[in-house]
Amino acid sequence: MPTALFPLHTLLRIVHAAAGGIADRTAIPFCGRRLSVFNFFVGQKTCSQGFPHVKAGMDLKPFHMNFTVHCKEGEDGFIPAFFILPNGHSGLGINIFRKAETRMTMAKQNFYADSFAAAFAREGTFLAFLTEREASAAWETRHAKDLRIEALDGKTTVLAPPPGMRVTEGKAIIEDTMENTRLLLKAKDLVYPVRGCAVMSLLKRSKINGTALNKVEKPVLARILNHCLKVAAGDALLRIADGKISAVHAGDRNDYAILEMPELFSRTAEYLETEFPGRTFAGGSFEHSMVTAVWELSGETGLVKAYQSALTLHGVEYGEIKPAVRLTSSDAAFRGANLYPTLFTGKRGGSVTLGNPLKLEHRDGADMKDFDAQLKLLCSQYQLAIGKLTKLLDIEISNPVNCLLRICKHIGISKKPSYEAAEQFKALNGEAPCTAHDVYFGINEVVFMLQCEGASGSKVIRMEENVARALSVRWSDFDIPCDFKW
């Protein structure tokens, strides 16, 4: 029985084309041990050229396709551990395996893990989870010069367990830290392991930086940090969460203002419910370094009416288009409370980043009143963001594949996903002249590929921010006919 192996994003494209759009190309939260998501009949089709790992002219013979998702148990829907399409059918069988990762579990004992992550399908569960995490966390202020960093070694045993944790959990925390930062933070009255997301803020508070610091051995890094902390002025604001230090910020409120996560997300939900009554919760995700939620603004056709009219005027076919908004924030990193206009597109499948976020930084005494003011600007900001996307329809591109690759390199997307996006663009659009709007949608494919690879939410969001930079480039600078070499 022949078996073909495909990346998930490629499979979904093949199935989407063969089944007339049955396959959903967006990330879907799942729950339970084993779920049969798709069970449908695919007629005989021929694949287009340009799909990675797919031979041109390969026939998809008629067969029933059972798409099964395996997940670890949890209290809500989480990103699946791996996907399987069984090959026990006549014709072509397809197998896909995604190795389960520790970030895909929500077992309570793993909250402490640096790699812990969870995705949510229900708003209530998501907000309750944030409230629970906030209740188990704390902010502590200490003199910066009183802090000391110690490198862990294999001889380190169990620390006194943090409040509310058992001794066995303290041991597990040390083991997880040994696999990651291998650093302890000490003050006169506290000792905590350092979480990976805290390292950048610790370096910043110590007034040092440089890529070489990531390469030195841990005892050397600890000595460097301690020399700098001894002469540091002022206070340090420590974020302690689930038995580890998640951040070391400057202690003055003008340098770092606390914006509590549960309040940020609940206020956003309440505001959207009032101003956009048809809104629905599209999903949320939690990592120690970043929290994100997306709401679909169903029924708010006025936000996209001008864009739809422009698509019609330019003869561009489109399916259902829905406005959405994403809130991203962090109390561990330097990311503020950022509201991103987003677009869900039915024909293209998935979301399109629009850039132009409303940003409220954690500084200058920022508080919830400032955030409320940002929420009130959401409508006008959405119109500004989608206006930039609409203008791309008027920009003609003569060399779309070259243009796509040049822009990808310019905005910081790595070589491999850039070339994969270019190949998929050629498969779907060819190499004939088109508009910057078409090319921009092609660039957005790198985000979808990253999601299919099981990348963390924070990595996906950083990629979306990179992609959005393409909205502001001068496209003529990248529309060059000569062969492009990376």
Note the pTM of the prediction, 2 decimals: 0.76
- The pLDDT score that the predictor gives to residue 155 is 64
The ranges of the chain with pLDDT < 50 are 1-108, 347-348
- The pLDDT score that the predictor gives to residue 34 is 26
pLDDT tens readout for residues 4-40: 333 444 444 444 444 333 333 333 332 222 222 232 2
Torsion of CA 208, 211, 215, 216, to 10 degrees: -20
Alpha-carbon gap, residue 210 to 200, rounded angstroms:
10
Torsion of CA 478, 484, 485, 486, to 10 degrees: 40
